Structure 1
Amino acid sequence: MAKKITKIDPVKQQVVRQLQPKKRVCAYCRVSTDSREQQNSFTAQLEYYTTLIENKEDWQFSGIYADEARSGTKLAKRDDFLRMLKDCEDGKIDMIITKSLTRFARNTVDSIEAIRRLKALGVAVYFEKEHIDSLSEKSELMLTILSSLAQGESESISTNSKWAVIKRFKDGTFILGTPAYGYTKDENGELIIQEEEAAVVRRIFREYLNGKGTYAIAKDLSEQGLPTIRSAEKWNDGVIKEILLNPIYTGNLLHQKTMTTEVLPFKRQINKGQLPQYLVEDNHAPIISHEQAEAVREIFEYRRKQMGVDDTNKYQSRYAFSSRILCGECGGMFRRQKIYIGKPYEKTQWCCRQHILDNAKCSQKAIREDDIQWAFTVMWNKLVSNYTEILTPLLDTLKKLRMNEQQEQEIGECSNKIMELTEQGHILSRLVSKGYIDPAVFIERQNALTIELATVKKKRSQLLDNNGFDIEIAGTEQLLELIRNNPHVIEEYREDLFLQAIDKVIVQKNGQITFRLINRLELSEPCRKEALEDDAKAYAHRI
């Protein structure tokens, strides 16, 4: 008996052919330098791919994605490449054309990950030079090999470039590409003093030696509108520190202060002794004396030790309040300051960064660190003493309000649709078992039902996952557990409790300190000064 065989096309392909008869094709181009030759190449690629795609009758032009002056070794810095991937995920593209694998990516890991990501979406990548379609059966092996070769070529080029640079370091022939602030280059590439900028450099050293800090110096220079390094909008303390510690201003050049990693992805790092450095003494005219530079380094070292800064880490121990204190007036972040350094009454305070830069834009005053600690201690003791009246009812309410009416309605609709589709599947099974419909038709309809059922289930899962108050509920449960483990009031500030319980601290204009807990509940306490005044008024009133 002859067997009857019927081909059943995938449902998704049928839908795509009906709704989108033409293949949506885009092109990806990249040039890695800003040279005129590369710019001409870039323009030529744009014209070529636009014409190529538009001349194909069964292709629909979906745009050109192009990254100018971008290295193929770093995927994260290629904006148009990332935008193209996003459009593929949104179902806007069916095929990508690119000149070669090296134009796509020189990093093996990034290349293979991107191709597999596109392959899972059903998006083909066609490499013209290699004649490879990423959706073909043999593409994976070939693309892996070619990507490895491309990466090896990049690493080889990098190694050769480093060797050439180091050779010029050793024989003293290296010429700086961009001179440091205060210097320019003559026709031979030698450093000469730029007097207008050099006057600013001398001022920076003079004011630092007279006791002014780097933040204050940067603020004054910005307020006076003095030209900044490389046309930046304003001066900052990091730039001031670089100038103060750069040996170039004493007439010396220090090469290889930074280094690049050996393998992809290439990363620029500070050279902390991993590689040799090359000091060229008396290379050019100095702006400041060796004695001034040495005095600056001594002051900088003293202040560094006072602030607890380490050589290997930015801080020996991260401050508990770092990146947690917000300004209630401008919304800016607070930074740590030490006042009266070296005096018996030395104190630590936190001040709004915007206020430090321009007190006309933010009038928020600084707050002492021990005042914040005191306010937290008071707030914590109140919370511990009353958590059964605050946190326990809050948790019950949050669970009841877990989903709003619209979400609840949508989830109900999805559940009903799932039941309906499931029932349709059972009916189809009964019909085919009794011979009322052809098996081929049954399979086609069953596949369509399966796809629709999966879509509805996915939507319901997303609604259940994003139905609100997850963070609040989880945070409240963590707070309750923290209080159960620490059930007693505390006599002094405990940093471990602060770090576990507090998300942000908001310093209000009226002197209130608001603590935003990890469950987003906000509790406020007056600053210690205001609290003491209130106690005094209450006592006077009682008398």
Structure 2
Amino acid sequence: MRAAVYIRVSTDDQVKHGYSLAEQREACCSRARILGAQEVTVFSDEGISGSTLERPGLNEMREAAREGRFQLLVVRDPDRLSRKLAHQLLITDELEKCGIKLEFLDFDWKDTPEGRLFYSIRGAIAEYEREKIRDRMGRGKEQKARQGGIPINFDVFGYQYDPETGKVSYLEHEKKVVVEIFNWFTSEDIGANGIAKRLNENGIPTRRRAGRWHRQVVKQILANTVYIGLWRFKGMYIKVPPIIDENTFYRAQEKLKEVRRLYAGKQKHGYLLSGLITCADCGNTMTGAYARWWGKRERRYTCNKTCQGYKNEGCRPVKYILADALEEAVWNQIQTWLMDPDRLAREAMGQIVGQNDPREQIMVINKHLASIEKGQEALIDVIAKGYLDHMDSIEKKLAELKRRKEKLEKRKEELLLAYRQREELFAKIDEIREISESILRRLDDLAFTEKRSLVRALVKQVIVSGRGVPGGNGLRFINVTVLAKIPEQKISS
């Protein structure tokens, strides 16, 4: 018999319970050999919480179980498998379907209705206890915060925190950077992006000392009340040493508010395809830019990235595509789809018509399964009648039939899922047809926001390649590919 051992330990487990991987490995392997295992495989996870199923060792063990590489699994206790009852039951059910016996060292597991009930009750109680502990810890943190203490690890640029004393103090070299950021912003004609660029050019490191400063990080610093001595935690403020005086901080807030107001004013130049366009030449997304071109300001799309923090600056020389021409081309394509509501359905159907109907394959599998079950019953009947002369070959045949049955059942589950997805797609086609017919009647009256919503409902991505030259409809020598969420079309000009 081949056996497997699963062991897991987190830092908390070692401190509270004295568990260690070596101790679990020795105890579990010893039990496996006592139960008759000639070969024992160990799967382990170290320093990983039992609250998640995404663990390398656990994943490897489950895969080995599905492949039939062992017949017995030995574990210290159910908490080693998972700290969540639902996950424990899921793994136990998987092992049972694979024909694997489960053995716990510190828990009397019985594969009976009563045993399963007790197993579930034990898991539920353990999970309840953990939730109570989590709740108590949360309330303890809030109580500590009300008393002016730091309830969690305090990791803020400009400061350092000593968990042993609970004290917050300045980190002098970062404190100077914070002061400069506020002074630059309030006394110079410079924005968050300009400050990020200056910090990068001066080689000033970030808190993690890796990567570059980004304008969003600068904005977060400028808007954080922690720098006037008020650190926000769950709706309350905890006092810490201030770095910036209140007058400087509120001048910065006024400027941020003005910047937001000016930025909001620019939104009158709406961009229909914002967030959907990708430049095929450099790989960047393309965003709206109200740019000056030959002395005239126009709406355009560009892959150029001037904000600090972007690794890819985009095409060089800078690429600009006329927004009106590009939006018109894409909108015309959408109108073409909508003018014939049934066309959408036909093109979507083309993706699935011609494929084999999953139901037909399911019927074939059901026949094979029925045949396998008859074969198993016949072999079991032979054993029951005492014909044991060829016992070894009979056992091999039963094992082979079991493997075939498991593969067929797995394939059947895949086909059932494919069938459900197929039916959902049919339903979606009907929905798109209905939407198309409704919108078609008032297509010319749609507001910009409605147009944009329609574009996002139908268009998955717009890919632009080439640079183009002035003239024609503004898209000369530019290739535009419109990928729809169901059908796909291509416009070239």
Partner of 2:227: 249
> What does 1:89-104 align with in structure 2 at a 5 Å threshold?
89-104=66-81
Give the letter for the 1:29 counterpart.
R
Partner of 2:244: 288
CA contact (8 A) 2:43 2:57 kept: no
Give the letter for the 1:227 counterpart.
P
CA contact (8 A) 2:225 2:231 kept: yes
> In the aligned structure 2, how far is the partner of 1:176 from the partner of 1:396?
55
Percent pairwise identity: 19
CA offset digits 1:480-502 (Å, max 9, x no partner): 66655555795576234313321
Cα distance change on mapping 1:192 and 1:104 into 2, 3 Å: same
**Is 2:73 the partner of 1:81?**
no
CA contact (8 A) 1:384 1:488 kept: no
1:324 to 249, 258, 276: 276
> In the aligned structure 1, how far is the partner of 2:408 from the partner of 2:54?
37
Partner of 2:140: 164
1:279 to 218, 238, 258: 238
CA contact (8 A) 1:336 1:348 kept: yes
CA contact (8 A) 1:504 1:517 kept: yes
CA contact (8 A) 1:379 1:525 kept: no
Post-superposition offset of 1:181: 1.3
CA RMSD across the alignment? 5.2
Post-superposition offset of 1:177: 3.2
Partner of 1:521: 488
CA offset digits 1:269-311 (Å, max 9, x no partner): xx4x5xxx1332xx42x32221222223334345556667xxx
SS at match of 1:181: coil
1:65 to 23, 26, 44: 44
CA contact (8 A) 1:218 1:235 kept: yes
> In the aligned structure 1, how far is the partner of 2:13 from the partner of 2:248?
41
Partner of 1:373: 327
1:147 to 120, 123, 127: 123
CA offset digits 1:45-66 (Å, max 9, x no partner): 3454456546764253222221
Give the letter for the 2:218 counterpart.
I
CA contact (8 A) 1:29 1:42 kept: yes
SS at match of 2:462: strand
Under a length normalisation based on structure 1, what TM-score does the superposition of the two structures give?
0.63
> In the aligned structure 1, how far is the partner of 2:80 from the partner of 2:455?
51
**Is 2:2 the partner of 1:23?**
yes
Post-superposition offset of 1:109: 3.3
> What does 1:115-126 align with in structure 2 at a 5 Å threshold?
115-126=92-103
> What does 1:209-228 align with in structure 2 at a 5 Å threshold?
209=186, 210=188, 212-214=190-192, 217-218=195-196, 221-222=199-200, 225-228=203-206
Unaligned segments of structure 2, at least 5 residues = 265-270, 387-393, 468-477
SS at match of 2:208: helix
CA contact (8 A) 1:218 1:240 kept: yes
> In the aligned structure 2, how far is the partner of 1:166 from the partner of 1:392?
56
CA offset digits 1:167-197 (Å, max 9, x no partner): 3323334476344211235795533322322
> In the aligned structure 2, how far is the partner of 1:327 from the partner of 1:94?
54
CA contact (8 A) 2:192 2:218 kept: yes
> In the aligned structure 1, how far is the partner of 2:455 from the partner of 2:144?
54
> In the aligned structure 1, how far is the partner of 2:156 from the partner of 2:457?
45
CA contact (8 A) 1:350 1:369 kept: no
> In the aligned structure 2, how far is the partner of 1:89 from the partner of 1:416?
23
Give the letter for the 2:133 counterpart.
I
Aligned length: 450
> In the aligned structure 2, how far is the partner of 1:419 from the partner of 1:164?
61
Q: Is 198-207 or 449-458 further displaced after alignment?
A: 449-458
Partner of 2:390: none
Under a length normalisation based on structure 2, what TM-score does the superposition of the two structures give?
0.69
Partner of 2:452: 495
